Amino acid sequence: MDLVLAEKQNWYPDISFVSKTNSDIKFAVDLKTTYRLEEKSLFCNGFTLGSHGEYFINQNSTKNIQYSYNQYFGHYSLGVLYSRKAQTYLEEIIIYSKKDLPTIPSVIADFEFFAQEKWKIASDKSGSGNTANIGSIVYIADILQGNGIFANLGEEWFNEYWQNYGKITYKDKKITDLKTYLQFKGRTDAWITQNIVLKKTTGNVKNDE
């Protein structure tokens, strides 16, 4: 496959893989990094999974995207999890040379890599406060296993939910969580029978009843 880098810094995805023999076959790969909340924490800080704006709603659009969203056979996140190391603040500036590289203390460590389809690690919450970005889940084991809130529901539910995120009013409130969206759709059975487990950033892992 040919590797096509995004033409602009704010375009999705970071890398497009395009078949050499059939250019209709494309895969989107976004590069992600995030840190564990504590060195041995079960949770990470989370990351964004691309926009749920123009190119996601209108999947024929080419705004801020290398190829239109629906041209890709799959959308993947290639990510790195790491731990932040305690930093020592010095009163003087130390200048290192190349020979010192093996002994320079690192500020990050314990790298762990993952590759997942982005809908499998998506949450039902926005990933940033001031932009239209899809948020990730934050429970590390579920990120590694692709066990996000949509994992048992499927990619179609993921697409439909995020295309309508914050646009539908139900019981006088805009819908910004999956449970309420399923209630609006008359599919409370999907919430119960899919045994969806919500992972909280507080460290509590519990079934949402």
- Structural domain including 47 reads 2-199
DSSP run (H or E) holding 3: strand 2-5
Q: What is the pLDDT of residues 114-163, one digit of tens each?
A: 999 999 999 999 987 667 899 999 999 999 999 999 988 999 999 999 99
Residue 205 lies in a domain: no
Residue 122 lies in a domain: yes
Residue 208 lies in a domain: no
Catalytic residues: 14, 30, 32
- Which residues is 109 bridged to in the sheet? 83
Q: What is the pLDDT of residues 96-116, one digit of tens each?
A: 888 888 888 788 899 999 999
Residue 17 lies in a domain: yes
| CA-closest candidate to residue 52, choices 176, 204, 180 | 176
Going by the DSSP 8-state scheme, the letter that residue 8 receives in this structure is: S
Residues 21 and 40 sit within 8 Å (Cβ to Cβ): no
Residue 30: partners with Cβ closer than 8 Å, 6 or more residues away: 12, 13, 14, 15, 49, 50, 75, 76, 77, 78, 118
Whole-model pTM: value is 0.84
CA distance 47 to 58: 23
Residue 206 lies in a domain: no
CATH of the domain at 132: 3.40.600.10
* Number of domains making up the chain: 1
CA distance 158 to 154: 7
Q: What is the pLDDT of residues 156-182, one digit of tens each?
A: 999 999 999 999 999 999 999 999 999
Residue 204 lies in a domain: no
Instruction: Please state whether the peptide bond connecting residue 13 to the residue before it is cis, i.e. omega within 30 degrees of 0.
Output: yes
| CA-closest candidate to residue 150, choices 179, 193, 121, 181 | 121
Residue 209 lies in a domain: no
Structure tokens at 52: 């749920």
Structure tokens at 65: 């995207």
Residue 22 lies in a domain: yes
